[in-house]
Structure 1
Amino acid sequence: MKPLLLALLLVATPALAGPKEDAVRAAGREWVSAFKAGNLEALMALYAENPEVALHDQPKLTGRDAVRGYFANRLRTPPDADFLLLEESLEVRGNTALSMNKYWFTLRTQGREYKDAGRSLIVYTRDRKGRWLIRHDIDQTTPDVKFPAPPEAK
C-alpha cells in the first residue's frame, strides 16, 4: 500500500505545483505593473510584513517603512520605464517561493536614459490570505546579462 501512495503523491505533485508557481509569477507581474504605474500603495501591498531589500549600489532596506521611503522618492510621478524579466528558476516549497530572474530596466527621465541589467533573487512568502508577498529581494548587475533583452523577456 505504501508504494502505491508514494506513486500517487509523485504523480500528483507536478499538477499541484503549477497553480502555486503561476500565482508567484502573477505577484511578480503585479510588482512590475504597480512600479510602472507609480502606484506606491499597490507596490507596498506586495511586500511582507518585514521585508529586506538589497539593491546594488544601495544600502540594505529593512522593514516596510524603509522600502516605502525608498520607492516614495522614486514614484512621485509614474516613471517612464520598461522593466523586463526572464525567469531562470522558480521553486515553491510550502509557503516559501524562490524566484531567480534576469532583468532589464530602462528609465527615461529629464531627457536622459538610464539602463540596468542583471539578476534578481526574490523570496516570497505566502500569507494567511494565500497572497505571495516579497520577503527578500536582492538585485545585482551581472556580466552575462546585457542589453538588448531577448525577445522572450516580458
Structure 2
Amino acid sequence: MELDTLDFTMSGQNGDIDEIKQLAEDWRSGWIAGDADALLALYADEPVLMPWGQPTVFGKDAIRPLYQSMFKEYAIKSEPTVMDVEVSGDLGYFWCTYAQTATPKAGGAPREEEGKAVFIVRREHGAWKIARLIDNSDRASPSI
C-alpha cells in the first residue's frame, strides 16, 4: 500500500512538472509573439516582476504597460533553455538561461542579450501561474 501511495505521489509530481514545463513553453510563445495579454494570463493574481536593472514591479496592472511598450517598439527572438524544474505542493519554480535579440521595429541595430531567469510558480485556481519572476543579464552592469 505504501508503494502505491509513493507511486501516486511521484506520478502526480511528474504531472506537475510537465504542467510547469508547458507554462515555460507558453511563456516563450507569448514572448516571441509579442502578446502582452497572453503573458499576463500566465501570471498569478498578485505577481511580482524583478527585472534586471529596473525597479521591482508589483501586479499585472503595472506589468502590462511595460510589456505593451516593449512589444510596440521591438520584435523579440528568444531561445530559452529550461535548466531545472522543481515542485513541492502548490509551489514550484523553474529557471532558464536565454539568448535574446530585440530588433527595433522602427529600424536600427538589434540588441542582443544573454541571461538567466527564475520563475517562482504557484498553483492558483487549479493551474500553475507565475508568482515571481527574477531576471538577470549575464552582461556586466554599466559603470556608475
Query: Does TM, normalized by the shorter one, top 0.5?
Result: yes
- Equivalence for 2:77: 82
1:127 aligns with 2:120: no
1:72 aligns with 2:103: no
- Equivalence for 1:53: 49
Task: Supply the RMSD in Å over aligned alpha carbons.
Answer: 1.7
TM-score (norm 2): 0.85
Cα distance in 2 for residues equivalent to 1:87 and 1:31 = 12
Structure 2: segments with no counterpart, 5+ residues:
140-144
Measured after TM superposition, the shift of residue 45 of structure 1 is: 0.8
Measured after TM superposition, the shift of residue 9 of structure 1 is: 3.2
Cα distance in 1 for residues equivalent to 2:84 and 2:38 = 25
Cα distance in 2 for residues equivalent to 1:111 and 1:14 = 50
Measured after TM superposition, the shift of residue 88 of structure 1 is: 1.7
Cα distance in 2 for residues equivalent to 1:142 and 1:121 = 14
Measured after TM superposition, the shift of residue 137 of structure 1 is: 0.2
SS in 2 for 1:106: strand
Measured after TM superposition, the shift of residue 138 of structure 1 is: 0.2
Cα distance in 2 for residues equivalent to 1:12 and 1:64 = 35
Equivalent residues in 2 for 1:81-100 (5 A)? 81-100=76-95
- Equivalence for 2:142: none
TM-score (norm 1): 0.80
% identical aligned pairs: 24
Cα distance in 1 for residues equivalent to 2:66 and 2:101 = 18
- Equivalence for 1:150: none
Measured after TM superposition, the shift of residue 121 of structure 1 is: 0.6
Once the two structures are superposed, what CA deviation does each residue of 1:40-92 show, in whole Å capped at 9, x if it has no partner? 22111111111111111111111111111211211237x42221111221101
Cα distance in 2 for residues equivalent to 1:89 and 1:98 = 8
Equivalent residues in 2 for 1:13-24 (5 A)? 13-24=9-20
1:118 aligns with 2:115: yes
Q: Which of 81, 105, 108 is the equivalent residue of 2:103?
A: 108
Measured after TM superposition, the shift of residue 8 of structure 1 is: 3.3
Structure 1: segments with no counterpart, 5+ residues:
144-154
Cα distance in 1 for residues equivalent to 2:8 and 2:112 = 43
